[in-house]
Amino acid sequence: MSTMMKSEATATGGLQVLQPSGWPQPKGYANGIMADGRLVVTGGVVGWDSAGRFADGFVAQVRQTLENIVAILAEGGARPDHLVRLTWYVVDMDEYTANLKALGKAYREVVGTHYPSMALVQVVRLVEPSARVEIEATAVVPR
């Protein structure tokens, strides 16, 4: 492995956070995670409740989406700290960036301070017309 690609890996709960040496520390996500265990994958999850009603507003939808992901993970025997990847799809990037502080607070209240690898993509629209955000999650439950 070249010096540039050496990882400053930190083990947390059976997962290993991958941080190449010399790279700036990411805020609110990880550059990469290595894990060994049972895979739990969600589809695209949106911010509606069990009756199919969407939460009012972007941050409220994100909170509900994260709560829905945690519920799905629990069905597979996984916890939020087993997350290795989240892919966020938003219909308005400006809406996301304008709410970073509130989003961070909601994330920490639902998921905690575990930050998996993440990607954020703006899309033209989502399948559910009322949805402002859709998130796919991947977790690995350690052996």
Q: Which of 73, 80, 70, 85 is nearest to 116 (CA)?
A: 85
Could you tell me the pLDDT band of residue 6, with boundaries at 50, 70 and 90? Answer: very low
Integer angstrom CA distances of residue 118 from 1, 28, 48, 88, 90? 25, 9, 22, 8, 13
Average pLDDT over residues 97-112: 98
pLDDT at residue 2 in the model: 39
The answer to whether 81 and 17 are in contact (CB under 8 A) is: no
Q: Where are the domains of the chain?
A: 26-142
Lowest average pLDDT, out of 16-25, 43-52, 74-83, 88-97, goes to 16-25
pLDDT at residue 12 in the model: 58
CATH code matching the domain that covers 26-142, chosen among 3.30.410.10, 1.10.10.10, 3.30.1330.40, 3.30.750.24? 3.30.1330.40
pLDDT at residue 13 in the model: 64
pLDDT at residue 1 in the model: 37
Question: Residue 41 in 3-state DSSP?
Answer: strand
pLDDT at residue 28 in the model: 86
Q: Where are the beta strands (DSSP E) in the chain?
A: 10-12, 15-18, 32-35, 37-41, 45-46, 83-90, 117-122, 133-142
